[in-house]
Chains A and B, each alone.
Chain A
Amino acid sequence: MFRDSPIIRWRHYNDRYRLVGYRCTKCEKAYLDKKGMCTCGNLDFTEQEFSGVGKIVAYTQIHSGPEVFESKSPYCVAVIDLKEGARIEAQVVDCRYSDLKQGLEVEAVFRKFYTSGEKGVIHYGTKFVPKY
């Protein structure tokens, strides 16, 4: 079930609008989502806003995704390692699938995700574009 509540989205503004994540206070490992415990065993994290610069680790093209993305299909999705170390899965836009490769430098942009029908809320968030 695709989660489509404006309120659920609103709760995620911090990490979707701005790439705010968490850093382990002991080993400095960065995470996008709040973890109970770091891989090093530490339980304490500090909030950190990431720069939005990263590299593609893996990527694919999606032809038939969720219905709300239909007007934007086909679109590219990639696993990206941010400069600060956190890993994120996000759409890569303003490019062709054939432009993408492992290690390609990308940067975060603020874009529209989808709208909840003709009358619903417009959902925004972070996508990536090849660095230019």
Chain B
Amino acid sequence: MDDGLPTARLVRRLLLVVAAMFAFGFALVPLYEVMCQAFGINGKTAGAYTGEQQMDAARTVRVQFLASNAAGMNWEFRPLQDELVVHPGASHQMLFVAHNPSDRPMTGQAVPSVAPARAAAWFHKTECFCFTQQVLQPGERIEMPVRFIVDRDLPADVRHLTLGYTLFDITGRQGPQAQAVR
């Protein structure tokens, strides 16, 4: 019968497995992030881009802009233009309008996503209002810029991109947020 480990040792090992699996649950969070980035799975774009590129004047790509509010958000939020036709490699800017119609100061956070999702890896933002939170006083209205470059290596079959933002009301949320937002 005593062909295994003594019970106390066995239990200690099993508890180690338990601890490791608890840690694994949390490790799934960065792992998920990495997988999504690596495979451009869910349209997540990377953080601020610092590279420079040569313009490819021979090719054009349509970039469409979308703005929508998450549940519970009451700001007016829209791009100044619905779309731009751009050359890969060139830097472009689009302005988004945000207006707080309420009678209290509010904080908003925009979360970007790119469709088709597999193109997200080739869509670079050099500057974006989504990198920070926006605090708007009652009735205040601002224009917020996003500067971007469509990568020259964007797969040839992608001729049309959509950059969408969802605006969340994060007034009153405490603690660390937004740093993680890309």
Answer yes or no: are A and B bound together in one complex: no
Q: Which residues of B contact A (CB under 8 A)?
A: none
